[in-house]
Structure 1
């Protein structure tokens, strides 16, 4: 039979609810108990007609004496008279209980608060910071680049919010990044997908937001939901966000764009790496050029309006900057043209696109009436091999994209051979059969680390070799296979006195030093390349169109061409001469590569971008000129 709760039970229930509210509620009840003890003690002193120093205690004096004995237990030692002592002792015992309980409550509350702070769930009250949502291995090169970009800023800050424990994040950052150069790094624990957690990172106050994809198969879904949580948050700011996010699968890009609109710049990671691999396998040293352009060390890309250049030809503008290199124009609508026609006029409201060490080095040259010695310029046409043989060792999700991108550069009759231990390779190639690939594809199943298998392929007959990391293997095993294949190839080339043009995909920058032992022509470090692009976009959204053009086969690309096709070799001449020769081929020269230094990391593998044009250089037969061209 149902029985209604008694008054006692209801009061106990309400009391328990009050206590569960935390430290403040406990202190409130403790204060009430203290007042009760003081009042009861004062009443006892008053009604017992206790005297102190020959005078009877009034109620107010009794209250004061009770308060003193509640707060300070030592006061009772000076009391006299047994009635007085007895009441004072009871009050003192009550005081000891209250004070000890108060200390316990404060200690417990402080510990709880410290635990909350350690959990990293308190809101960040920063402005103009870079907010990174999510956590992956890419976060370390991203932080490194942001630190470099922030060196000229006052009190720069990076806020990181992910589901990872705050203490673990801080420990990993401290162990991997020894010098933050004044940049404050703040870690918080929270779920970027939860509207209730997003305010922790203060996204409305951030100057840019980077969303990192987690290292699992549902990465794109996570990224799209994170963008949705930001852009459709009812508490979001009215101004547009500046968001940069990773997308792994091109099939998800359209859905992502619908969610983010023009507030988000997406980096299609697999496509980016595939394009870089294809271009680098055909242009030895290209990965070093990209690394320098995308890093905040050395030469970078800048946009700047120059009133002096208005109504001048691009050809003439390029010659008036000695310490920086003009590579293109950004028009009034924000469209980018790299390596424009040399007669293209620069208009009011447009911006020039520079390669420079710093924006402070973009200054007009004082040199007047440049005289170019035409005898030092060669007009030789650049010859190309119409049919090429490419070897791909290994296979992963980027393999199909690489085959497709290669077709943009190959002539009909070219052959691409794939050596892979995966059955999936054949399945992926079958899906490409309906496309015009400009190449015959041969698939050989075998071990890419087996010396005999490699030698049977007649390695030296291939024009280009690409090594891909297997994605079905554990990370360390995949990297180990790549390194072993590299060492075998280099040894085969040395034995047969043949230089092999090899580009290798390296998953982590940690293994770059090991890979350098093999002296491969180029390394495409997947996480590093993606991190550099993400960081550049976080600092300057406009650079996306420049990068899209450079990585697109239909646009302007970077090429490393034989110096002997441009200038006389083995003589001293300035870079103005190189610039003039490139213009005559409708190209823009941006640097050169010294072949003798191609394996020297301390010399940037021989790559020199944006050289001072007035300085003399002496290029040799094997050296290269770095140009931007449309072919």
Structure 2
């Protein structure tokens, strides 16, 4: 016997059937529920008024719903205007955006409230999901995405650049990236409604042909980096002194110690050499005189009343004054040793647009009669021509050989043990190749090199260039190996400068072709090895050599994460037993103040006294 449906099911079915009849059924419900008793005229008038009220309410609800829908669509499309102040605006989208945003989040961790606005010609939801995936929790920093072309002044105005603390213009990954950067800078000028951009701007271009145009468009408060040149110089410096990339990464990362102007005023009449031992937990590296950083001035430089000391410290307010001169043990200071001027041999595997710059920077500091061998899947005449064009008479030789660096027989035919350093460069992507192809070839080359290392029993002093930071964990490299992620490096640099405009001159000097630079030098040049002594003794020994000691690298810990033996800015009272394989991190060089080099357009600056 068929079971009859219950009362609840029959009631729901009757109600659904009534609604399915359409508007007439709904009006009938209104008559039954909203009608009043009385004469027919009174009932009709009541129903009419209810219908009028329904129309008005429905219209109002429709307008509200439409307005909310349009607003939600606008928010979803990222086309609403920001009403923020003291925020940071990031224009463009590339792999560097994750590094820049991550560093800005770290910089804003000790602030009550901060905001970062990202404008790119991408879907807003996709940008938010990518940032959430790769940046992670943002703490007190709010990330605000807006969608549209950054070269459109009307769209750019949505980010309120006039009220921002700084604007960062990222170079896109496309081939026309430099032209897009210039257009975005011009759009900033248009939104400023004047002849100059009033907000500090940090941008980067790859091709030096666009450098002058970009700097003119950025205005007097703008800083434009030449990313390929900076990357090439750091690769060349790391090739001559393995481990140097760790120092650069630590100084550029907000998670470590950075450059800050000291909060304490300089004592006029004192000498700079005395200031080197005047902080117990900070490393003095120079002065800021008339707004211009002056790295590693001579120790006898007399301080002026308005000078600021430039220090490496954990934060801008953590440096503490302390007389560390009593910590120096003069008996542990090492005597002078002859410098090593023997010719060097460099092997470059691979070729890209930065390769000539790398060779030029390496050759500029290499001893006489040094040789750079280049093995690449490139025409030998092209390589030789590039080397000849960049030759500056430094007395080094470039030898080109064509070969596929991913093939074992190519690398096995080289006398790898005879080279002082090896650089692996990623090949430029060819037409139709995916953007990750250069790193794929680099990873294959590294696998073969690791195989040859095991066969020969000798670890190669290797510097590797990667384009994608996500491939770093995949690289078959030893702990603490030198890896230069070009995009991440420039992103870190841009984030640092956006927070402190003075750092543009500091890093420009450190990463320049000559002058003051960061060096890793044998600890035996400074202190007697095999004995325990304080870091203050190392600082005093470096001062006698015209250098600023800022840290050290322990050979015993060189393979241990996370620091791989590197320690920047140790306390002056820190004592340890120094071994022959330890290295000291120093800032050394000519110590030029406000010098203008021929290879760059000078940044606007005040004229130093004297």
TM-score normalized with structure 2 length: 0.87
How far 1:431 moved relative to its partner?
4.2
The answer on 1:524 being equivalent to 2:492 is: no
Structure 1 segment 480-559 matched on structure 2, within 5 A: 480-515=440-475, 517-519=477-479, 521-559=481-519
1:251 aligns with one of 188, 192, 209: 209
CA contact (8 A) 2:156 2:191 kept: no
**3-state SS, counterpart of residue 612 of structure 1:** coil
CA distance in 2, matches of 1:619, 1:494: 30
CA contact (8 A) 1:396 1:470 kept: yes
CA deviations 1:505-541 (Å, max 9, x no partner) are: 0212212222264447311111211111000000001
The answer on 1:336 being equivalent to 2:293 is: yes
How far 1:131 moved relative to its partner?
0.8
CA distance in 2, matches of 1:165, 1:383: 57
CA 151–92 in structure 1, closer or farther in 2 if over 3 Å, else same: closer
The answer on 1:456 being equivalent to 2:416 is: no
CA contact (8 A) 2:532 2:576 kept: yes
How far 1:305 moved relative to its partner?
5.5
**3-state SS, counterpart of residue 597 of structure 1:** coil
- Which residue in 2 is equivalent to 1:590? 550
1:618 aligns with one of 577, 582, 587: 577
- Which residue in 2 is equivalent to 1:408? 364
CA distance in 1, matches of 2:319, 2:47: 84
CA distance in 2, matches of 1:123, 1:389: 57
How far 1:371 moved relative to its partner?
5.9
- Which residue in 1 is equivalent to 2:587? 628
CA distance in 1, matches of 2:463, 2:386: 25
CA 327–546 in structure 1, closer or farther in 2 if over 3 Å, else same: same
1:143 aligns with one of 101, 121, 127: 101
Structure 1 segment 285-296 matched on structure 2, within 5 A: 285-296=243-254
CA deviations 1:435-466 (Å, max 9, x no partner) are: 43532222221111222211211111111110
More helix by share: 1
Q: CA RMSD in A?
A: 2.4
Structure 1 segment 193-272 matched on structure 2, within 5 A: 193-233=151-191, 235=193, 240-272=198-230
**3-state SS, counterpart of residue 387 of structure 1:** coil
CA contact (8 A) 2:446 2:477 kept: no
Aligned residues: 559
CA 624–319 in structure 1, closer or farther in 2 if over 3 Å, else same: same
CA 372–113 in structure 1, closer or farther in 2 if over 3 Å, else same: closer
The answer on 1:160 being equivalent to 2:115 is: no
The answer on 1:440 being equivalent to 2:397 is: yes
1:345 aligns with one of 302, 307, 319: 302
CA contact (8 A) 2:93 2:120 kept: yes
1:471 aligns with one of 417, 422, 428: 428
CA 194–87 in structure 1, closer or farther in 2 if over 3 Å, else same: same
**3-state SS, counterpart of residue 196 of structure 1:** helix
CA 99–555 in structure 1, closer or farther in 2 if over 3 Å, else same: same
**3-state SS, counterpart of residue 518 of structure 2:** strand
CA distance in 2, matches of 1:535, 1:234: 22
TM-score normalized with structure 1 length: 0.84
**3-state SS, counterpart of residue 193 of structure 1:** coil
- Give the structure with higher Rg (CA): 1
CA contact (8 A) 2:426 2:439 kept: yes
The answer on 1:427 being equivalent to 2:386 is: no
Tell which has more relative contact order, 1 or 2 (C-alpha 8 A, sep 6+).
2
CA 87–416 in structure 1, closer or farther in 2 if over 3 Å, else same: same
- Which residue in 2 is equivalent to 1:57? none
CA deviations 1:170-206 (Å, max 9, x no partner) are: 1111112221121111111122211211221011110
CA 99–520 in structure 1, closer or farther in 2 if over 3 Å, else same: closer
The answer on 1:276 being equivalent to 2:234 is: yes
CA contact (8 A) 1:465 1:501 kept: yes
CA distance in 2, matches of 1:110, 1:627: 61
Query: Runs of 5+ in structure 1 lacking a partner?
Result: 1-68
